[in-house]
């Protein structure tokens, strides 16, 4: 469990740092004065300053923040947040979630790059299997099995699985030459039809990034769809987990290996990006909503009123967190 806590702290700190760093670099980019960049909450452990900004590491790895001049109070500083144009404020507000979104893409891309892509080129020919007797060799690119055109390893597997008879005709490209071979077919312990070959694994940065983007988009749609179900009353609060539940899940994933932990980190990062952009007080999405309202209504909602609404939102979020902790303890610890 000790190693699990280390993994959990690393994941939480990394993703919170990424989120707050997004706000930080966006604020600097549009000329907002940053008073403090803090990782963690509670008593300060390390403080150091460079220029106008104080950097700090605090005792509890449960959050972090960027203290912007004029974000929570009025300020006469020309570089304060409250004196910036609405579009500049919006950039600062959404930057944290954008960074979490980018982090999700990068983590998934790294996972895919490490694992690699299967291809329709043979990687290994197993000794004693029909493929060896047929004369298939590593490096052969399979382009046809019987009458089926082959373009991927999935095509190879599915075509063999659907084939009938004791042999299959396999057309390959070897050293630029097209060769037709006949191979026998056997079955593995599950009854699947095989000939004893494995795929050559390809590692491509570009394809990994494309997969990272596509997978992140697919996961985003799933999460938004689930949130819609939850708000419509079609979901269940029991499906949600808090910090205790996340640590328990990390513990389970840690037993399976670092790839599974990295995949979980990507999911948590995407959750942070989406949840933070919900139009709820105290969240980045709530702040963006007030920016839009003020853009059309001016000062109808004062800074003081907005601050009180965000404070109420914080109290509600704390209440939700307490509820999730109690639910997690009952589900993951007591049971």
**Residue 185: per-residue pLDDT:** 94
181: Cβ contacts below 8 Å, ≥ 6 apart: 134, 135, 136, 169, 170, 171, 172
**Residue 335: per-residue pLDDT:** 64
Q: Which two tokens stand for residue 132?
A: 């060896």
**Residue 9: per-residue pLDDT:** 79
d(CA 16, CA 12): 6
pLDDT digit string (tens) for 103-144? Answer: 999 999 999 999 999 999 999 999 999 999 999 999 999 999
- What is the average pLDDT across 23-32? 95
146 SS3 class: coil
- For the chain, the structural domain boundaries read 2-115+206-334, 117-202
20, 69, 71, 306: which is the annotated catalytic residue?
20
% residues pLDDT > 70 (the chain) = 96
**Active-site residue 20, yes or no?**
yes
pLDDT digit string (tens) for 191-204? Answer: 899 999 999 999 99
- What is the average pLDDT across 231-238? 74
Q: Is the pTM of this model over 0.75?
A: yes
Rounded to 5°, angle at Cα 97 from 60 and 331: 55
**Distances from the Cα of 88 to the Cα of 65, 76, 225, 286, 298, angstroms:** 19, 17, 30, 16, 16
pLDDT(150) > 60 = yes
CATH class of the structural domain 117-202: mainly beta
**Residue 1: per-residue pLDDT:** 55
Query: Token match 């290996």: residue?
Result: 257
pLDDT digit string (tens) for 55-104? Answer: 998 887 777 889 999 887 778 888 999 889 999 999 999 999 999 999 99
């Amino acid at each position: 469990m000790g190693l699990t806590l280390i993994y959990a702290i690393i994941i939480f700190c990394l993703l919170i740092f990424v989120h707050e760093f997004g706000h930080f670099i966006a604020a600097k980019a549009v000329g907002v004065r940053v008073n403090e960049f803090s990782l963690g909450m509670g008593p300060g452990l390390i403080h150091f300053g460079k220029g106008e900004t104080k950097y700090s590491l605090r005792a509890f790895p449960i959050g972090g923040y960027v203290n912007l001049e004029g974000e929570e109070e009025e300020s006469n500083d020309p570089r304060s947040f409250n004196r910036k144009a609405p579009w500049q404020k919006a950039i600062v507000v959404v930057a944290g979630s954008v960074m979490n979104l980018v982090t999700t893409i990068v983590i998934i891309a790294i996972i895919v790059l490490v694992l690699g892509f299967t291809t329709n080129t043979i990687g290994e020919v197993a000794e004693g299997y029909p493929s060896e007797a047929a004369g298939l060799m590593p490096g052969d690119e399979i382009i046809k099995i019987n009458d089926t055109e082959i373009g991927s390893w999935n095509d190879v597997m599915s075509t063999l699985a659907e084939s009938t008879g004791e042999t299959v005709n396999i057309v390959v490209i070897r050293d630029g030459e097209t060769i037709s071979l006949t191979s026998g077919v056997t079955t593995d312990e599950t009854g699947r039809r095989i000939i004893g070959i494995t795929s050559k694994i390809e590692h491509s940065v570009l394809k990994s990034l494309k997969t990272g983007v596509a997978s992140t988009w697919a996961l985003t749609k799933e999460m938004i769809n689930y949130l819609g179900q939850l708000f419509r009353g079609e979901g269940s609060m029991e499906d949600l987990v808090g910090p205790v539940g996340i640590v328990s899940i990390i513990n389970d994933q840690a037993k399976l290996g670092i790839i599974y932990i990295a995949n979980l980190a990507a999911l948590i990062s995407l959750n942070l990006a989406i949840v933070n952009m919900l139009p709820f007080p105290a969240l980045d999405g709530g702040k963006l909503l007030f920016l839009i309202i003020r853009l059309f209504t001016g000062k109808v909602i004062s800074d003081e009123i907005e601050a009180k609404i965000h404070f109420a939102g914080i109290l509600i979020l704390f209440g939700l967190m307490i509820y999730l902790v109690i639910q997690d303890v009952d589900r993951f610890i007591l049971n």
